């Protein structure tokens, strides 16, 4: 898999250091509040697992599976719910965990849905933010790294379902896309 990379943008060590920093910040912010931490599958899985292990407070975990990219590097613009939550969020402090905010369409959809479901508060933590991709006005409350305008993979992020299990974030060689 490493040979398919044009460039490694963020190393495993840099990711782990940042996750520790974000977990400490969020533990302080949510202390005594028992937040409902919602991971957006599938991309958020590695980040969420590492983040919550380092949070030193009680949290409830749940997952939504939504998808808008399919096997493409461009969002279809249509967010599909593949799996919904198992718990009610009325009155809860909701923390959404994402791997990346690109166009912002996925999170925009989820934030509107969660407001409608009467969450007490809704905040977003994302490992990566790609502000140049934005199609709607959406800002994370907490972000790990800003990434440039390139399709990135690794640590949860896929291209056609591959590369999610890389421990670092990289940019693929152009021929990998062209062969698809």
Residues 55-94, one symbol each (x = binds ligand PRP by CB under 6 A, - = not), give: ------------xxx-----x-------------------
Answer yes or no whether residue 126 interacts with ligand PRP by CB under 6 A.
no
CB of 23 or CB of 106, closer to Mg ion: 106
* Residue nearest Mg ion, Cβ-based: 69
Contact segment (CB under 6 A) with ligand PRP among 39-47, 54-62, 147-155, 169-177 equals: 39-47
Contact segment (CB under 6 A) with ligand HPA among 33-41, 50-58, 86-94, 145-153 equals: 145-153
| Residue 102 is among the residues annotated as catalytic for this protein | yes
Task: Report how far apart, in Å, the C-alpha atoms of 165 and of each of 12, 55, 155, 162 are.
Answer: 12, 22, 6, 8
Q: Binding ligand PRP by CB under 6 A: which of 40, 48, 96, 143?
A: 40
Q: Binding ligand PRP by CB under 6 A: which of 101, 124, 125, 169?
A: 101
| Pair 79, 106: CB distance under 8 Å | yes
Task: Give the active site residue among 102, 137, 141, 158.
Answer: 102
| Pair 168, 128: CB distance under 8 Å | no
CB 136, min distance to ligand HPA, A: 14
Instruction: Note the residues at the interface with ligand HPA (CB under 6 A).
Output: 69, 100, 102, 151-153, 157-158
């Amino acid at each position: 898999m490493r040979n398919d990379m044009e460039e490694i943008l963020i190393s495993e060590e840099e990711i782990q250091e940042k996750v520790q920093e974000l977990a400490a910040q969020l533990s302080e912010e949510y202390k005594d509040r028992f937040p409902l931490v919602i991971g957006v599958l599938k991309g958020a899985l590695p980040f969420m697992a590492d983040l919550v292990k380092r949070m030193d407070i009680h949290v409830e975990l749940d997952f939504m599976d939504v998808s808008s990219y399919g096997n493409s590097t461009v969002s279809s613009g249509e967010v599909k719910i593949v799996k919904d939550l198992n718990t009610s969020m009325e009155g809860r402090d909701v923390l959404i965990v994402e791997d990346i905010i690109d166009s912002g369409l996925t999170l925009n959809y989820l934030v509107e849905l969660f407001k409608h479901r009467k969450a007490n508060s809704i905040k977003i933590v994302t490992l990566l933010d790609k502000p140049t991709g934005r199609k709607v006005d959406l800002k994370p409350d907490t972000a790990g790294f800003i990434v440039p305008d390139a399709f990135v993979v690794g640590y949860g992020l896929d291209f056609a379902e591959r590369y999610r299990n890389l421990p670092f974030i990289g940019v693929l060689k152009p021929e990998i896309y062209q062969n698809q």
